[in-house]
Amino acid sequence: MHAAFRAFVESIGKESRLRLAPTPSGYLHAGNVFNFLLNFVAAKSRGAGLLLRIDDLDTDRKRTAYVQDVFGTLEWLGIHWDEGPRSTDDFETHWSQHLRLPLYNDALQILRSKNLIFACGKSRRDLAAFNGLYPEHFREQGLDLDASDVAWRIKTPPGFPLADFVVRRRDGLPAYQIASVCDDLHFDITHAVRGADLEASTAAQKYLAARMGVTAFATIKFFHHPLLLNEKGGKLSKSAGSDAVNTSREGREGPEKILGDAARWLGLPTERTYFKATDLVGK
């Protein structure tokens, strides 16, 4: 087990809570599974609780098949969780993020009351020329926060990894960063394993919580693991192609390969075969 991950795991106690937080915007790939396994091992090796939280605010990309894929993948891996939805119907009825919209909107109003946000009418095309940066002079667009078709952005300090990031989308829905902060606080999450590609998001969420005056979020411990890459050395993406886990499941393949990859990363014996997630715990 990598030393940094070992130290992270050793900070987890029986009263701790971790979460699996997939987004149903495509079929899950091996990188998603690797993250699930690390969260599962971290929680179960220490007797901590594990929540399943499916982040479904992005209704444009959400599909029922993608939600079903989450449950199918977890069953395939042999991952069990302590709290959260047990089926697609249970998720839609009791656990969808849309049921927590009042919580997110209250957080947005806190930011507004502190004059920390501004209205932005710029499109992706307008921003494309700035290579992912947000020009500070775009803060002065003179738009009302209650105008239609404007995003709400939070003012960030110079050099921030996600400059003036969006907290409310142009369609009026809370954005990912604000929802994630609220959910982690709502569900009393204490530890989270995330991919290295989400380090900037973690910084954004810590910044949001601090500006809201919510000190509890600062106590959450995060570990960012290296990403699994495709054959060309690029980041895996959600698709229905060869990278998708459901391709293996539908081919009636077992999870032994991805479990073996996780075992090697965890420093577990490589001469044995791992058939389910619990085989990785306590070895």
Distance (Å, whole) CA 81 – CA 48: 10
Does residue 266 form part of some domain?
A: yes
Which residues in 180-201 are b (16+ Cβ under 10 Å) and which e? bbbbbbebebbbbbbbeebeeb
**133 neighbors 161 (Cβ within 8 angstroms):** no
- Global pTM? 0.93
205's tokens: 């969420």
Does residue 174 form part of some domain?
A: no
Asked if residue 223 and residue 250 are part of one domain, the reply reads yes
- The CATH number of the domain holding residue 149 is 3.40.50.620
Q: Looking at residue 230, what is its pLDDT?
A: 62
Asked if residue 161 and residue 46 are part of one domain, the reply reads no
Distance (Å, whole) CA 67 – CA 24: 5
Distance (Å, whole) CA 98 – CA 106: 14
Asked if residue 56 and residue 8 are part of one domain, the reply reads yes
Which DSSP category does 95 fall into? Answer: I
Q: What's the domain count of the chain?
A: 2
Contacts of 258 (CB under 8 A, 6+ apart): 30, 33, 34, 37, 77, 245
- pLDDT tens-digit profile of 21-48? 999 999 999 899 999 999 999 999 999 9
Asked if residue 192 and residue 68 are part of one domain, the reply reads yes
Question: Which residue among 118, 136, 168 closes a domain?
Answer: 168
Does residue 179 form part of some domain?
A: no
Does residue 175 form part of some domain?
A: no
38's tokens: 């690390």
Asked if residue 268 and residue 160 are part of one domain, the reply reads no
Does residue 176 form part of some domain?
A: no
Distance (Å, whole) CA 200 – CA 115: 23
Does residue 178 form part of some domain?
A: no
Asked whether the CA dihedral 272, 276, 281, 282 is positive or negative, the reply is negative
Distance (Å, whole) CA 214 – CA 103: 14
Structural domain boundaries, residue 154: 103-168
Query: Containing H/E element for 29?
Result: none
pLDDT of 239 higher than 60: no
Q: Looking at residue 132, what is its pLDDT?
A: 82
Question: Which residue among 111, 138, 168 closes a domain?
Answer: 168
Q: Looking at residue 188, what is its pLDDT?
A: 98
Q: What is the mean pLDDT of the chain?
A: 93
Asked if residue 195 and residue 132 are part of one domain, the reply reads no
- pLDDT tens-digit profile of 169-210? 999 999 999 999 999 999 999 999 999 999 999 999 999 999
Distance (Å, whole) CA 264 – CA 107: 41
Asked if residue 251 and residue 216 are part of one domain, the reply reads yes
Asked if residue 86 and residue 11 are part of one domain, the reply reads yes
Asked if residue 247 and residue 275 are part of one domain, the reply reads yes
**34 neighbors 258 (Cβ within 8 angstroms):** yes
Distance (Å, whole) CA 264 – CA 44: 18
Asked if residue 189 and residue 82 are part of one domain, the reply reads yes
Does residue 118 form part of some domain?
A: yes
Beta strands in 99-245 (DSSP E): 117-120, 151-154, 166-168, 191-195, 221-225
Asked if residue 192 and residue 86 are part of one domain, the reply reads yes
Asked if residue 265 and residue 191 are part of one domain, the reply reads yes
Does residue 74 form part of some domain?
A: yes
Beta strands in 131-271 (DSSP E): 151-154, 166-168, 191-195, 221-225
Q: Looking at residue 248, what is its pLDDT?
A: 82
